[in-house]
Amino acid sequence: MEMDTENFKYFCTVCNDYFPHESLSIHNETERHVLVETFYSNRKLFNVINTDHPIRVTPDDFNFEDIAIKVNLNQEKTVKFNICNISNSSVTLLDIFGLTNEKHVQIVNIKKPTKPVVILKGGKLNNSFNAGVIINDYGFFEVPIAFTYSSSTDKSEPKISNFVLILDFEVETDWSVTLRPKRPYHMESKKSFLPVIKKIPGPEIKLVGNMMTIYLKMYKPPVEMVAILENKMKESKNLGIKALTLLHAMNKVLGHKENVIDFTRENYVDRFTYLLYMEEAEELIELEQFRKEKVYLKSVKENNISYFRLEVGDGLIEGRPSLIVGDKALIYPLRGKDYGLKNVWYSGLICKVELKSILLRFRKSFHQLFQPDVMKVNVKFEPQRLPYKMCYRALEFVKEREMQFLLFPLENFPFVKSPNFVDKLEFHNEDINNNPEQAQAVLNIVNCTSRPYPYLLFGPPGTGKTVTLVEAIIQNWKLEPENRRKQLVCASSNAAADIITERLLTKSEIPATDIFRMYSPSVKNSQISNVIMSCENAHNLNFNEMNNNYDVIFPSYEEVMGRNIVITTIITAGRLVDGIPCTHFSHVLIDESGHCMEPECLVPFMGLITGENKRVHGQLVLAGDPLQLGPVLRSPAKDYGLQKSLLERLMTSDSMYKKNPETEKYNELVLTKLHLNFRSHPAIIEIPNKLFYDRELKAAGKKEITETFCNWNELPTKQFPIIFHGIIGKEDREETSPSFFNLNEVNLIMHYIKECLVGKTINGRLIKTTDIGVVSPYKKQIQKLSIALKTKGLNGITLGSVEQFQGNEKLIIIVSTVRSMPKDEQTSLGFLKNPKE
């Protein structure tokens, strides 16, 4: 308890209120204080007690279908009470008072009895008394109101008791009203896996010209893998002999979940083959849940080309199912004498993905056969198998070319300086002169100090991994002007690859004619920045009426080999394997490699710098952070090692890449850890530095950036530019989407963006929408927030998931966790419990 000396009032932290001229001991014995203290120390007790009272109190004009009374922020809401005597004798109402100790809740203007009011048996008091409630924060708030009464019988003296009415309030805004669930969430029953017996192929995306002819086997996972996963990898008589045989073979190589076998040179290929089988089969099972039955296709035309539109639903925008141009949908026309063959599915090419629908193109006979809006069909979606096939082929190279030694390095490999060894570099980025770790990493990459083994660049958040890679690429380009080194630069996403491309084009002297940014056919020209347009493959999907296919124009292998720097994603890099000699690239550099499954990481270098007779013809560089978000997996394969990237496995399992226990340092010839964080204020990196990075991170960002908000009026603690604003919010889902959203958090985020940030000048800097990024683990939350921002004309704010923001940066980051109700402490939070999130 504290005292307001000016007004001689005591403030009670239990009652959250001031009380005049009372000593501490007197106030603590008052009925109100005792009741508040009891209520908040044993909240569950009152749920039981309130059923035993002779009176019932209900709020007037309240819809019990709602979970809470809706109020506007900082505006008084008057609640009128209906009081009913349900006992066999009279009851006397004595007092009404609020019990809340919540700092964001005020109970005001209570209309209470001025003298005792008798309520006869069966009597009611309708709207005679009321209380005003003001909420000054977003979320759900529990507001307890106490009603003091006395009751008596012929055999007893009057007994004074308290009935507590617990009201729930929710702050609402104009946009949250429009964002409420359209229809209640209901979980669709799990669909059994339905195999396709016979399939008639449809149009394809064809690469025209004399390039990118990919020779890939089918590498199909055994059909029994689906049954094994549906049976949770347990033995069962229902599995059949083939499935049981496969399961036994897997257990022999993988072990069991409780006792997983380690990776070795001997089991490497078999282990990862089985794990990929599991992941691909799980994707098939997942896609089966989006199977549609008895739906219509609509015939449409765009640019004089006939398509069929299929309504997929709201889930499409959140990746349920995740579909891109080039994927396939299988259509089964339901019975009708004019509609094809029994048990035959027609394969359709997805030519366009819209907000809620897709456009499909089929073989010509299907288009001629179909009657628009008349014939019902069943629909299945096929996964994009190219990434898996690239991984299987990379594993095949490991076995055929005996490259296991490259993936399991020896601790003491003999390092020999090459004749072209460089002792010192003149850095293009002058800041690197002041960063010894970055300087050492660039020098080592140029000198190929770990070859034939991978060189690891371990970069915690904001330490400049990409900056270091860009400098190494520039130095390799400058080193031998007459015979420039050829470099393949890869990243786990198009966004990360684009960042490297743009930096090379805008912050170096390398001409665009020396750089080739290679995109996959699914990327549209509209998604490519104007800066990159000068050096990309500029393909378009052009419909070829003659063969009913879509042609994509790629340059020839010779044209690609003529560029000194090729930049692409790890999977698209696999397109080069069949036409580029394994002696061509001097370096393969993979940024954000910690996000990739290990077999994915093999794709850009197995076959491109690995040759016959165990020869490695180039330096592999893996940049990333194994302590940040790893690969996103669906299947139990994550429990058997597929969740680890190649970077993480080497750093945690291979002694060559571990710290020397005596010196506590890494071998600088094979691994460099960056220590200087250029992105964040010291307060932001303090916790991860302590928990994950051995306290080796040092804040080195420019103070005019990192301290922009240190004296912001909204900060609870000055010089600590972090706000933890916890609210109790309602978690919603709608229709068949399992993704959560929380409109109370949307309201809070909108408050900060609209009222506190955008258009305000903070520390001399005008805050723009482009300064702000919002991260949330739930796609539905991002979708709802996007709609809310559009209603207020707030464009330019970057919204995305944790994966999408990996490696990105903004002046202001807002994190919406969505899951906020107290029950979440006891229930599973899934990936939110992952420390890498």
Q: d(Cα 769, Cα 534) in Å, to the nearest integer?
A: 29
- The answer on pLDDT for 135 being more than 90 is yes
- The answer on pLDDT for 54 being more than 80 is yes
**pLDDT (mean) for 459-478:** 96
Instruction: Calculate what percentage of the chain has a pLDDT beyond 70.
Output: 92
- The answer on pLDDT for 625 being more than 80 is yes
Q: d(Cα 440, Cα 424) in Å, to the nearest integer?
A: 10
Residue type, 518: M
- The answer on pLDDT for 154 being more than 60 is no
- At residue 332, the 3 state secondary structure works out as strand
**pLDDT (mean) for 519-542:** 83
- The answer on pLDDT for 829 being more than 70 is no
Q: d(Cα 427, Cα 448) in Å, to the nearest integer?
A: 17
pLDDT, tens digit (0-9, with 9 covering 90-100), for 705-719: 999 999 999 999 999
Half-sphere exposure of 165 (CA within 13 A, CB side): 22
- The answer on pLDDT for 403 being more than 80 is yes
pLDDT, tens digit (0-9, with 9 covering 90-100), for 731-747: 898 887 888 999 999 99
Instruction: Calculate what percentage of the chain has a pLDDT beyond 90.
Output: 62
- CB within 8 Å of 793: residues ≥ 6 apart: none
Half-sphere exposure of 301 (CA within 13 A, CB side): 3
- The answer on pLDDT for 338 being more than 50 is no
- At 764 the pLDDT is 92
Helices H / strands E in the chain, number of each: 21, 41
Average pLDDT score, the chain? 89
- The answer on pLDDT for 836 being more than 70 is no
- At 209 the pLDDT is 65
Q: d(Cα 250, Cα 296) in Å, to the nearest integer?
A: 42
Q: d(Cα 376, Cα 379) in Å, to the nearest integer?
A: 10
- The answer on pLDDT for 771 being more than 50 is yes
**pLDDT (mean) for 565-578:** 95
Instruction: State the DSSP string of 667-699.
Output: -TTTEEE--EE-SS-HHHHHHHHHHTSTT--EE
Q: d(Cα 450, Cα 41) in Å, to the nearest integer?
A: 62
Assess contact for 621 and 376: CB atoms under 8 A.
Answer: no
pLDDT tier at 586, thresholds 50, 70, 90: very high
Q: Which of 103-117, 160-174, 543-557 comes out lowest in average pLDDT?
A: 543-557
pLDDT tier at 526, thresholds 50, 70, 90: confident
Task: At 597, give phi and psi (nearest 5°).
Answer: -60, 150
Answer with the residue of higher pLDDT: 427 or 824. Answer: 427
Q: Which of 244-248, 288-292, 343-347, 450-454 comes out lowest in average pLDDT?
A: 343-347
Assess contact for 321 and 380: CB atoms under 8 A.
Answer: no
Instruction: State the DSSP string of 70-81.
Output: EE-TT--EEEEE
- At 446 the pLDDT is 97
- At 555 the pLDDT is 80
Q: d(Cα 837, Cα 828) in Å, to the nearest integer?
A: 15
pLDDT tier at 156, thresholds 50, 70, 90: low
* Residue with tokens 């994509």, as numbered in its chain: 552
Q: List alpha helices for 541-626, DSSP H.
A: 557-561, 598-602
Give me the residues paired with residue 590 across strands.
Answer: 490, 622
Q: Which of 179-193, 452-466, 600-614 comes out lowest in average pLDDT?
A: 179-193
Burial level of 120, CB count in 10 A (0-12/13-18/19+)? exposed
Spatial CA neighbour of 119 closest among 209, 63, 172, 56: 56
Half-sphere exposure of 404 (CA within 13 A, CB side): 13
- The answer on pLDDT for 826 being more than 50 is no
- At 779 the pLDDT is 87
Q: How far is CA 38 from the centre of its chain?
A: 42
Q: Which of 99-113, 151-165, 248-262, 310-324 comes out lowest in average pLDDT?
A: 151-165
Domains of the chain: 42-172 (2.60.40.10), 441-679 (3.40.50.300), 702-833 (3.40.50.300)
Q: Which of 353-362, 410-419, 451-460, 624-633 comes out lowest in average pLDDT?
A: 410-419
Q: d(Cα 772, Cα 795) in Å, to the nearest integer?
A: 11
Distances in whole angstroms, Cα of residue 726 to Cα of each of 343, 521, 719, 723: 55, 44, 20, 9
Q: d(Cα 18, Cα 10) in Å, to the nearest integer?
A: 5
Q: How many CB atoms lie within 10 A of CB 406?
A: 20
pLDDT, tens digit (0-9, with 9 covering 90-100), for 90-112: 999 999 999 888 889 999 999 99
pLDDT tier at 802, thresholds 50, 70, 90: confident
- The answer on pLDDT for 2 being more than 60 is no
Burial level of 723, CB count in 10 A (0-12/13-18/19+)? middle
pLDDT tier at 422, thresholds 50, 70, 90: very high
Distances in whole angstroms, Cα of residue 207 to Cα of each of 214, 465, 537, 563: 10, 34, 12, 20
User: Exposure string (b/e) for 191-224, b if CB count within 10 Å is 16 or more?
Assistant: eebeeeeeebebbebebeeebbeeeeeebebbeb
Spatial CA neighbour of 408 closest among 393, 418, 398: 398
Instruction: Please report how the helices 386-400 and 268-288 are oriented relative to each other, as an axis angle in degrees rounded to 10.
Output: 170
- At 5 the pLDDT is 47
Where is 226: in which H helix or E strand? helix 224-230
pLDDT tier at 390, thresholds 50, 70, 90: very high
- At 824 the pLDDT is 45
Answer with the residue of higher pLDDT: 142 or 568. Answer: 568
- At residue 609, the 3 state secondary structure works out as coil
Q: How many CB atoms lie within 10 A of CB 718?
A: 11
pLDDT, tens digit (0-9, with 9 covering 90-100), for 194-236: 888 889 999 988 877 655 667 899 999 999 999 999 999 999 8
Burial level of 830, CB count in 10 A (0-12/13-18/19+)? exposed
- The answer on pLDDT for 66 being more than 70 is no
pLDDT tier at 181, thresholds 50, 70, 90: confident
**pLDDT (mean) for 31-42:** 84
Distances in whole angstroms, Cα of residue 464 to Cα of each of 707, 769, 802, 807: 19, 25, 19, 10
Length of the chain equals 837
Half-sphere exposure of 229 (CA within 13 A, CB side): 25
Identify the DSSP state of 83.
E
**pLDDT (mean) for 79-93:** 93
- At 825 the pLDDT is 47
